[in-house]
Structures are given as structure tokens and as C-alpha cells.
């Protein structure tokens, strides 16, 4: 009886492991594009009522910034991104993706500190497609629609300039 019970226990544990692995695979994030591969398409409805689609920006380099009004690091890098967007106007598109934010909080923050580029929640694609678990996170897409680089955390001027050079040269 002891041997039979042990075999049944081991079989049950194996079965539970297989079921657990199948459930994990079913709910695991989809793989994101790697550097050099096509950037996943993303569509946002910005807070000004416009729709912005990454695929429609093909032919221009794009910086995709995942941010949130509650994110202190996002607030600290806001001026840097606004300045870069202004300095590269007509050369690089900047798009902000609001991450797990309350719409009224995001709107309130943007009224007090406008970004200078389109920002809104993703309606297609988004943080899961890019593997973002928390903001800030920035993705640099070249004019061919390929992911050239990504950066997780608060950007500084040198890092931003480095990544911008990768997509503009």
C-alpha cells in the first residue's frame, strides 16, 4: 500500500505540474519584438481625441514612451522628452502610452505639464506587446519600423541622445 500511495502521489504531482505549465503558457505574455525585428504595432487614442497608429508613422523614427501620472520617474523625465520632441520636430515622432493610469489623473497631470506630443492609452497593442511591467520605459523604432533599442527606467540626456542617434543616422 505504501508503494502504491507513493506512486499515486508522484503521478498527481506530475499531473499538476503539467496542468500548471499549460496554464502558464496560455496566460504568458506574447513574445515581444527583439532589437532588429519589427516593432509591434500600437494604437493610442490621445487625450486630444486623435488616433495615433505606430504603423502609420513608418518612414519616420519613433520614440514610444510608456509613462503614468503616478510615476515619479516619469514626471522627472517629462521635461527631457518634451525638449527632445521639440528639438527633433519633423525628424522623430514621439508617442506617449499611458500605463495603468486613471484617465482623470492623466488628463489633470497633462494639463499642468503638457507633453508636446501625443499621449493616451493604448487601444491596440500596448505594454504587454512590449513587455513593459512598470513605467517608465522607452522604445526607439527606426524609420523602417524595426525596434532599434529599448530602455527601462528614467532616461537621462546622454542616454536619450545615444538612442536617438541610433534611429536618426
pLDDT at 70: 93
Partners of residue 139 on adjacent β-strands? 64, 150
pLDDT at 141: 96
Query: Both 9 and 49 in a single domain?
Result: no
Query: Both 94 and 157 in a single domain?
Result: yes
Query: pTM for the full model?
Result: 0.79
- Pairwise pLDDT comparison (41 vs 1), residue with the higher score: 41
Calculate Rg over the CA atoms of the chain. 21
pLDDT at 48: 86
Range of the domain at 73: 33-168
Whether residue 20 has pLDDT greater than 80: no
Query: Both 78 and 57 in a single domain?
Result: yes
Query: Both 74 and 150 in a single domain?
Result: yes
Region 110-124: what's the mean pLDDT?
87
Least-confidence region, from 78-92, 106-120, 131-145, 149-163? 106-120
CATH of the domain at 109: 3.40.30.10
Query: Both 37 and 26 in a single domain?
Result: no
Query: Both 85 and 102 in a single domain?
Result: yes
Whether residue 29 has pLDDT greater than 70: no
Report long-range pairs for 104-107 (Cβ below 8 Å, ≥24 apart): 105/69, 105/70, 106/47, 106/68, 106/69, 107/47
Query: Both 72 and 124 in a single domain?
Result: yes
Query: Both 61 and 129 in a single domain?
Result: yes
Distance (Å, whole) CA 143 – CA 92? 9
pLDDT at 57: 94
Query: Both 20 and 39 in a single domain?
Result: no
Residues in the chain: 169
Query: Both 54 and 24 in a single domain?
Result: no
By CB atoms closer than 10 A (0-12, 13-18, 19+), residue 1 is exposed
Region 56-80: what's the mean pLDDT?
93
Query: Both 106 and 164 in a single domain?
Result: yes
Whether residue 95 has pLDDT greater than 80: yes
**Into how many domains does the chain fold?**
2
Query: Both 16 and 39 in a single domain?
Result: no
Amino acid at each position: 500500500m505504501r508503494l502504491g500511495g507513493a506512486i499515486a502521489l508522484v503521478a498527481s504531482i506530475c499531473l499538476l505540474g503539467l496542468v500548471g505549465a499549460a496554464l502558464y503558457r496560455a496566460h504568458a505574455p506574447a513574445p515581444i519584438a527583439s532589437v532588429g525585428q519589427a516593432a509591434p504595432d500600437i494604437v493610442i487614442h490621445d487625450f486630444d481625441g486623435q488616433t495615433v497608429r505606430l504603423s502609420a508613422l513608418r518612414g519616420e523614427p519613433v520614440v514610444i514612451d510608456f509613462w503614468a501620472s503616478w510615476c515619479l520617474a516619469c514626471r522627472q523625465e517629462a521635461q527631457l522628452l518634451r525638449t527632445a520632441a521639440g528639438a527633433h520636430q519633423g525628424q522623430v515622432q514621439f508617442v506617449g502610452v499611458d500605463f495603468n493610469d486613471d484617465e482623470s489623473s492623466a488628463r489633470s497631470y497633462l494639463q499642468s505639464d503638457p507633453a508636446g506630443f501625443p499621449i493616451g492609452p493604448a487601444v491596440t497593442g500596448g505594454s504587454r506587446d512590449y513587455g513593459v511591467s512598470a513605467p517608465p520605459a522607452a522604445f526607439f523604432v527606426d524609420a523602417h519600423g524595426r525596434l532599434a533599442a529599448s530602455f527601462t527606467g528614467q532616461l537621462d540626456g546622454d542616454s536619450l541622445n545615444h538612442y536617438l542617434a541610433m534611429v536618426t543616422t
